[in-house]
Structure 1
Amino acid sequence: MARVLMKGNEALGEGAIRAGCRYFFGYPITPQSELPHYLARRMPEVGGVYLQAESEVAAINMVYGAASAGARVMTSSSSPGISLMQEGISYLAGAELPCVVVNVMRGGPGLGNIAPAQSDYFQAVKGGGHGDYRLLCLAPSSVQEILDLMALAFELADKYRNPVMVLGDGILGQMMEPVELSPYSGAAELPPKPWATTGTLGREQRNVINSLYIEPEELERVNLRLKAKYQRMEAEEKRWETYALDGAELVLVAFGTMARVARAVVERLRAEGQSAGLIRPVTLFPFPEAPFREALSRARAFLALEMSLGQMVEDVRLAVEGRCPVYFYGRTGGMVPTVAEVVEFAKEVVKGL
């Protein structure tokens, strides 16, 4: 087992390579540009294809083509670039094509800035494109977890024939941390894809990849079938982490970089005699309600922490089901809440209970 220092964006690329991804189509945008830069070197080393598209719109449609042929394929971008990909992502979901889309979030709306943010939560979790579709969405909070979750992302994409989004932010993409790299053989066993458009291969029937259904009755049947798939995701794929949750009266909820801040806040509050804990959703869709039900037996309040004006807080309120007050603290525009300011806000929340 090798221990190396790696940047988050590099871990996204190496994790994809080790998961068997051999096709990358993308376009550079800060703060994720180190990811395509890394893959431009690594893909040829493993017999893969790296292609810098002329735009994000082109990149996502190249992903559609490679996924249709059964390849393990990914793209990456940052907030406004992901916005440009939304039509293609909806097409991929409608055609039931597995792929991985990485979003290393930056400040918005519009072009915003290149500082870290979490304000793409709605876009990622509620579906930024048109139609009744969902993306599986994974939210790592360390460079090691980035590496590990990339393997899971490709597995889930193939399992459900659905796009998977890995949602990070500018801090996670740019930070460097030590990671454990297992020995790598260069081979990855991929599941069979009898639906792929690889020719008839002796079959009488041709495979067709499509998301166009002119008759409303037919499209409704397709949507209901997709809904059943999304319900199976909700039943089987919820993932989360808790910290100091036993007996916690104030429960912080955060994902990604903010979960790291929240953990330090919990430690500070515990050291000062406040009973605090943390729920960190790892899957943002499906959102994990189970730890909230567990925490409700003792919790007097929940506090959602985000680098946004408040988006995940809506899912926290749904999970709590009105049985406990839910507060929110966030910064936006690329500002990152500090441990000290969150601690002070948390103390005010506790005073008001």
Structure 2
Amino acid sequence: MSEKVLMKGNEAICEAAIKAGCRHYFGYPITPQTEIPEYMAREMPKIGGVFVQAESEVAAINMLYGAAAAGARAMTSSSSPGISLKQEGLSFIAACQLPCVIVNIVRGGPGLGGIQPAQSDYFQATKGGGHGDYRNIVLAPNSVQEMLDLTLLAFDLADMYRNPVMVLGDGALGQMMEPVEIKAGSVKQVEKPWAVTGLRERSTPNVINSLFLKPEQLEELNIRLQAKYAVIQQNEMRWEETNTEDAELVLVAYGITARIAHSAMEEAREKGMKVGLVRPISLWPFPEPPFARLADTAQAFLTLELSAGQMIEDVKLATKCRKPVYFYGRTGGMIATPAEVFAEIVNVMNGNKEAR
């Protein structure tokens, strides 16, 4: 059984979290994600869950740390400056291998910036963000339906790999309303014998810790983490391709920008231009296979972002710089239009633009 309802992207995330079995939410209001704590404050008490509006983003991430350590399915959310404040806690969570979900509804920066949509937190999300050698799994929805679907997936991946998972949206997706299919399903029950829950018939209590004063022990932890990340890279790359079979120019975009790029690609196709689109769904692990393959057949790539150009580095790495990579982006909360993207397509295909 399923139903379709009209929901905001932020609300869809909440509904997915509840259906995934999340019963502990810790957050702090910040535009453009404030509907998430608002929704959770209303709905969590109805299902016996816990909602805490923390005194700060720093407090919220450490509450998440505690709930995850106890084995609970738990989530926090914020927007760009708030996620910056959570970075130390995220590093602790990754080091302790605790499963949890973090939502970032990105706004323009740097600094306090503005409240309009952006994608300028890509580096922060995909390259760690905090201190040390660690990785978050990062999922990038491009519709309200995917806000729901990928949040459900995020909880499962977090438990599967004992790793934080970030859902990286933006202000446009968070605020837009679309019909969403809410599927009925059961929560996956995952055994967590490592959780800090007292003795519970054990002879010694579990201890979760990220402090290792002996360098040999800390190196051993890092080796284990890197081995896990290699498995995640092998198994969890996700992407979508459109019209890439014969594409001479391949557009690369994620999130809301991918929808804009899709419209521009369709216009280009109508005018006889061989243009395709690759949409990364997992930003980490970055989906390398389509780029390695298309670098053999396409003539060039055009990366499109609501930033000054952050994903372009991963596109170059994935293609091994075998073909030129061009870039077009808007910053500060400005959103590119399909007409602007189409104009960039024409510039690239006519040789009127320099590669990055």
The normalised TM-score by structure 1 is: 0.98
Partner of 1:298: 297
Tell me the SS of whatever aligns to 1:274: coil
Aligned length: 351
Contact 2:156 2:188 survives alignment (8 Å)? no
Distance 2:301 2:79 in 1: 30
Q: Report the alpha carbon displacement of residue 210 of structure 1 after superposing the two structures with TM.
A: 0.4
- The one-letter code sitting in structure 1 at the alignment partner of 2:73 is R
Distance 1:49 1:286 in 2: 31
Matches within 5 A, 1:1-353: 1-183=2-184, 188-352=187-351
Distance 2:161 2:220 in 1: 18
Question: 1:280-307 CA deviation, whole Å, 9 max, x = no partner?
Answer: 0000000001111222232000000000
Task: Identify which range, 287-296 or 136-145, moves more after superposition.
Answer: 287-296
Return structure 1 stretches of 4+ with deviation > 6 angstroms.
none
Contact 2:302 2:328 survives alignment (8 Å)? yes
Tell me the SS of whatever aligns to 2:45: helix
Q: Report the alpha carbon displacement of residue 189 of structure 1 after superposing the two structures with TM.
A: 3.6
Distance 1:159 1:234 in 2: 14
Q: Report the alpha carbon displacement of residue 258 of structure 1 after superposing the two structures with TM.
A: 0.4
Tell me the SS of whatever aligns to 2:13: helix
Question: 1:165-186 CA deviation, whole Å, 9 max, x = no partner?
Answer: 00000000000000111236xx
> Where does the alignment leave 5 or more consecutive residues of structure 1 unmatched?
none
Q: Report the alpha carbon displacement of residue 79 of structure 1 after superposing the two structures with TM.
A: 0.1
Contact 1:302 1:327 survives alignment (8 Å)? yes
Distance 1:45 1:244 in 2: 46
Q: Report the alpha carbon displacement of residue 147 of structure 1 after superposing the two structures with TM.
A: 0.5
Contact 1:252 1:305 survives alignment (8 Å)? yes
Contact 2:24 2:67 survives alignment (8 Å)? yes
Backbone CA RMSD of aligned residues: 1.0
Question: 1:2-50 CA deviation, whole Å, 9 max, x = no partner?
Answer: 1110000000100100111000000000000001111111111221111
Question: 1:44-84 CA deviation, whole Å, 9 max, x = no partner?
Answer: 12211111000000000000010010000000000000000
Tell me the SS of whatever aligns to 1:218: helix
- The one-letter code sitting in structure 2 at the alignment partner of 1:46 is I
Contact 2:91 2:134 survives alignment (8 Å)? yes
Q: Report the alpha carbon displacement of residue 205 of structure 1 after superposing the two structures with TM.
A: 2.1
Contact 1:20 1:190 survives alignment (8 Å)? no
Tell me the SS of whatever aligns to 2:276: strand
The normalised TM-score by structure 2 is: 0.97
Q: Report the alpha carbon displacement of residue 190 of structure 1 after superposing the two structures with TM.
A: 2.2
Tell me the SS of whatever aligns to 1:127: coil
Distance 2:14 2:163 in 1: 20
Distance 2:191 2:149 in 1: 23
